[in-house]
Structure 1
Amino acid sequence: MLIGDVARQSGVSTRVLRHYDALGLVRPSGRTTGNYREYSAEDVRRIFHVESLRSLGLSLKQVARALEDPAFTPAALVGDLIRWAEDRLARERELLERLRAIDASAPDGWHGVLRVVELMQGLGSASAARRQQAVLARSEDVPVPVELLAGAVLAEADPHVAGALRWALARAGGDGLAALAVGARSEDVAVRRRAVPAIAAMPEEVPEVTALLADALGDPDATVRGQAALALGRRGVPASVPALVGTVVEGHNDVEAAEVLAALARDHGSADVVLTALVDELAAHTGDSARRIRLAQALVELPGTAASDVLRRLAGDDDPAVAVVAAAFVGVLDERSRKGEDDGVRRPGSADGR
């Protein structure tokens, strides 16, 4: 079979076939009387073998070894090819995401394209300072795709950069909420811990925010539940009370949670709900001084006489540590009552009383 016939049958161009011949990869078995290349059926099969191996990503040198060297086994090489393919796919996915981000920004000209690329490069920097600067220094005349900011905040471990990203997302309204909602349902707890504060930072007028935060109250991770509870409590949502009390019990942001509980009780008509929840937890942790002291600290923030009555009873508690703390708080409340004060109490563990 002449070279032209082989090219038509195999789909390999005559130029490539000549290149294979020059490399010794596929040499025709014979020559015609006119010295034209003549390929046998075995030669054609070898061409198909070469093309099959090349389709896997092997170089021509590797193909030659695979066909000629019996000791050249596929196991190690195929593993390498898998890793190379995965790296190539990762680069291609990154390129695709960049192109989509640029397309979403609908740039008017190359200046806009370059600004978005500059932001992406800044967000991809190993330097936290540079990532933060990329967010804060972005040009106002170039729209930035919120999906890019949302993806960055879900991946950002540095708290300062994450704060800048949340600020930038909040300024964009609720446009990035869909991406954050996906993050709030991630199997990766670190992603959920980044998603919930970003959702909480969204403007209050965005209606989906409260629903997403309410869903996060059922998260298996205590930190995520606490984040959602603090955000909902600040929005005056009574459903946050159990999780806020749980935050006090566990000692994660307990001072902040106590302040939010006090605001719910004082400003949103939830005093009875808050008091009942705290008292129930006191009864459930009779052998745990630290938890009961934190619950007592939360009680002293509540308005009205019912909370002070509970503290007076705790002043006679069987646990000496709890009794001492409760008695101190009763003294503070009595002093405040004598002075006619109704402002907040500075208490141990607060920002002012450490």
Structure 2
Amino acid sequence: MLIGDVARRSGVSARMLRHYDSLGLVRPTGRTEAGYREYSDEDIRRIFHIESLRSLGLSLRDVGRALDDPGFAPSELVDDLVRRTRERIAAETELLTRLRRIGAAEPAGWEDVLRTVALLKALGSKSPGKRQRAALSSAEGAPVPVEALVEAVLGEKDPNVAGALRWALARSGGGVSALLAEGLDSPVAEVRERAVQCLAEMPDDEAAALLRDALAHPDAVVRGHAALALGARGVADAVPTLVDMVVEEVNDVDAADALSALAGDPASADRIAALLVDRLARGAAGPSVRRRLTQALADIPGATASRALADLSHDEDRGVALTATYVLRMRDAR
């Protein structure tokens, strides 16, 4: 079969077939009397093998080795191709993400594009100072898409930079809370904690709703941050979790302060006191737990708390009894 016929049937151009010949990949078995290349069935089969291997991303050099070297181990080459393909996909995905973010910033001209690119690069810098300056610039209105800020804050380990990023997010407008909520489902504990910390500083109603949902999160750290944030907003749903934090000695001082702030009216105060008393009544509560619960009761106003403190002033644990007695005296002196 002549080269033109081979090109039509194989889909490989005559020019490429000549290139294969020059490289020694496919040398036609024969020549016509006029000197034209003449391909055998075996030659054509080799052409299809070459094209199949090229479709995997092999170079022509690697294709030649694969077809002609009896000792060639394809597994190593395939592993290398997998690695290179993953690297290429990661690079292309990063580029696509950057382009989308630049588009989301709605640049009016190339100056805006260049500024956004510079800020995105600064957010990914190894220098905490550069990252912090980029975050502060965003807070002042620089064109940084919220998706980039969310990604940056969820991965930020430096507390100063993280604080600047949270501030920038709080000033960035709507749509942030939903993006942060995705971080609550991260398999990485640190990312979950950063996500809930950011939500705690979001002023919108969507963030408050997400924080309420987070009270049932399987991660105790997430539940704790959500409860403290909701307590500061005056949301009574946080009370049971705050009581648990006192019992478990997890930010127990902050939790007790939040309970005190939530006990602003008699009904709320009695409800909180009743929960604390219930935990005191459980037999599993050890001495240190009972002391923390007593200290928490000290800041809860109302008759329920006072009656509980009166009972605790006769407690077998001297530390509990002394704390309760001192608190009662202070109440009487008011």
TM-score grouping bracket, smaller chain normalisation: over 0.9
Q: Is the 8 A contact 1:311 1:327 kept in 2?
A: no
User: Deviations for 1:256-309, whole angstroms, at most 9, x for unmatched residues?
Assistant: 111110000025951112111111122225452222222222112212353243
Superposed, which structure 2 residues align to 1:182-261 within 5 Å? 182-203=182-203, 206-261=204-259
Distance 1:38 1:254 in 2: 87
Which residue in 1 is equivalent to 2:26? 26
Which residue in 2 is equivalent to 1:10? 10
Displacement of 1:244 in angstroms is 0.7
Displacement of 1:16 in angstroms is 2.0
Which residue in 2 is equivalent to 1:79? 79
> Match for 2:27: what amino acid?
R
1:11 to 1:268, Cα distance in 2 relative to 1, 3 A: farther
Query: Are 1:37 and 2:32 counterparts?
Result: no
User: Deviations for 1:152-209, whole angstroms, at most 9, x for unmatched residues?
Assistant: 2222233322221111111012221221122223344333222112112111xx2222
Superposed, which structure 2 residues align to 1:124-135 within 5 Å? 124-135=124-135
1:141 to 1:161, Cα distance in 2 relative to 1, 3 A: closer
TM-score by length of 1: 0.87
Which residue in 1 is equivalent to 2:322? 327
Displacement of 1:228 in angstroms is 0.8
Gaps of 5+ in 1: 341-354
Which residue, 293, 296, 299 being the options, matches 1:295?
Answer: 293
Q: Secondary structure at the match of 1:227?
A: helix
User: Deviations for 1:50-90, whole angstroms, at most 9, x for unmatched residues?
Assistant: 11111112122211111111221222221221121111111
Distance 1:326 1:157 in 2: 44
Distance 1:139 1:261 in 2: 33
Which residue in 2 is equivalent to 1:349? none
Q: Is the 8 A contact 1:312 1:327 kept in 2?
A: no
Distance 2:7 2:233 in 1: 73
1:196 to 1:287, Cα distance in 2 relative to 1, 3 A: closer
Superposed, which structure 2 residues align to 1:57-72 within 5 Å? 57-72=57-72
Q: Is the 8 A contact 1:3 1:39 kept in 2?
A: yes
> Match for 2:304: what amino acid?
A
Query: Are 1:97 and 2:102 counterparts?
Result: no
Q: Is the 8 A contact 1:150 1:169 kept in 2?
A: yes
Query: Are 1:314 and 2:312 counterparts?
Result: yes
> Match for 1:119: what amino acid?
L
Q: Secondary structure at the match of 1:137?
A: helix
1:139 to 1:171, Cα distance in 2 relative to 1, 3 A: closer
Displacement of 1:128 in angstroms is 2.8
Which residue in 2 is equivalent to 1:344? none
Q: Is the 8 A contact 2:270 2:305 kept in 1?
A: no
TM-score by length of 2: 0.92
Displacement of 1:245 in angstroms is 0.8
> Match for 2:237: what amino acid?
A
* Percent of residue pairs bearing the same amino acid type: 58
> Match for 1:250: what amino acid?
E
1:328 to 1:293, Cα distance in 2 relative to 1, 3 A: closer
Q: Is the 8 A contact 2:139 2:169 kept in 1?
A: no
Gaps of 5+ in 2: none
Distance 2:190 2:140 in 1: 31
Q: Is the 8 A contact 2:30 2:37 kept in 1?
A: yes
RMSD: 2.1
Which residue in 2 is equivalent to 1:172? 172
Distance 1:246 1:56 in 2: 57
